[in-house]
């Protein structure tokens, strides 16, 4: 490729991404440039509109289009795959707090909407587990397609008729998961349920160990929490949120001979 052609290509792509900032390369008819500009931004806007319908409706057409144009002009996607552009849009909003004035919940609402599509597409393999294992004696495993999520804003309520200016004192705690039929479900969580699910995601220990740690953290009697926790874990197993217990837990203990070696 000649250096001249390379410069022309860069000039053209910069113009197509951000026509207000970069002029087109010389010698290209404006009518042709307009067709390219409209096709490219239109394809991105259409793709995002399908993935973020509540966000689009809440912002209104003018603000939505302006936001998509900023994303298209400023963000450099790390993936060439169209199904993953929604995640890139969420990353862009998380890095641009205050991207739309008067919408401090913008990034969280986008993440909430994106989670459904992300879980539908999740193809992570389940780790080795025993589906019928004892959830207190063994280490419960959270399914890869089950996410406990915490938001500052009540994302499940935000829409054209409800756009809060101040975040409530209590966070919004949700479980988003794919059920056995492949449908994505959302459920609101109590704080202790969220903490238990989040602990399952981060640490591998026995179910009883998780519950005793939560009881100590909450200043609650361990025996009562063990009974309630077992019931919650069993319910999550029925829903496919918890797979069972890890096959490699507890880890094999070294023999006495090895211990003396």
Rounded to an integer, what distance in angstroms lies between the CA atom of residue 106 and that of residue 55? 8
Task: Give me the chain's average pLDDT, please.
Answer: 88
User: What contacts 208, CB < 8 A, 6 or more positions away?
Assistant: 136, 137, 226
Record: fold of 127-261: Outer Surface Protein A; domain 3 (3.90.930)
Mean pLDDT across the stretch 12-23? 78
Alpha carbon 223 to chain centroid, angstroms: 34
| pLDDT for the residue numbered 251 | 54
| Inter-axis angle of helices 61-74 and 30-51, nearest 10 | 110
Cis amide bond preceding 250, omega within 30? yes
Cα–chain center distance at 45: 20
Query: Whose structure tokens read 């915490």?
Result: 150
Averaged pLDDT, 8-17: 76
Spatial contact of 164 and 105, defined as CB atoms under 8 Å apart: yes
Question: Could you tell me where in the chain the CATH 3.90.930.50 domains are found?
Answer: 127-261
pLDDT of residue 257: 38
Give dist(CA 212, CA 140) in Å, integer.
14
The yes-or-no verdict on residue 16 having pLDDT over 80 is no
Do residues 209 and 137 touch, judged by C-beta distance below 8 A? no
What order of strands is seen across the sheet that includes strand 242-246?
Answer: 129-130, 242-246, 140-142
Rounded to an integer, the average pLDDT of 134-148 is 96
Predicted local confidence at residue 81, as pLDDT: 79
Reported confidence tier of residue 111, pLDDT bands at 50, 70, 90: very high
Positions of E strands within 189-247: 242-246
Q: CA 183 → CA 26, 177, 201, distances in Å?
A: 52, 8, 21
Q: Which helix (H) or strand (E) holds 172?
A: strand 172-178
Two structure tokens written together for 112: 């909430």
| Helix, strand, coil tally for the chain in percent (to 5) | 50, 10, 35
pLDDT at 106 over 60: yes
Q: Taking residues 118-137, what's their average pLDDT? A: 92
Q: What's the DSSP call for residue 138?
A: S
The reply to whether the predicted model has a pTM over 0.75 is yes
More confident residue, 189 or 123: 189
């Amino acid at each position: 490729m000649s250096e001249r052609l390379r410069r022309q290509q860069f000039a053209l792509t910069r113009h197509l991404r951000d026509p207000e900032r970069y002029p087109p390369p010389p010698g290209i008819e404006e009518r042709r440039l307009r067709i390219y500009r409209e096709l490219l931004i239109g394809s991105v806007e259409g793709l995002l509109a399908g993935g973020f319908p509540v966000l689009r409706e809440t912002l209104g057409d003018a603000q939505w289009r302006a936001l998509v144009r900023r994303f298209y002009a400023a963000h450099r996607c790390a993936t060439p795959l169209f199904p993953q552009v929604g995640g890139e849009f969420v990353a862009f909003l998380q890095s641009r707090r205050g991207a739309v004035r008067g919408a401090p919940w913008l990034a969280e609402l986008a993440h909430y909407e994106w989670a459904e599509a992300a879980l539908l597409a999740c193809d992570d393999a389940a780790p080795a587990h025993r589906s019928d294992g004892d959830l207190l004696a063994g280490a419960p495993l959270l399914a890869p397609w089950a996410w406990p999520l915490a938001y500052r804003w009540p994302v499940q309520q935000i829409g054209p008729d409800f756009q809060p200016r101040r975040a409530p004192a209590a966070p919004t705690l949700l479980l988003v998961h794919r059920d056995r039929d492949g449908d994505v479900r959302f459920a609101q969580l109590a704080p202790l349920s969220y903490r238990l699910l989040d602990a399952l995601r981060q640490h591998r220990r026995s179910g009883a160990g998780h519950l005793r740690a939560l009881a100590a953290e909450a200043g609650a009697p361990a025996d009562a929490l063990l009974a309630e926790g077992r019931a919650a874990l069993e319910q999550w197993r029925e829903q496919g949120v918890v797979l069972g217990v890890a096959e490699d837990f507890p880890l094999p203990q070294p023999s006495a001979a090895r211990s003396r070696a």
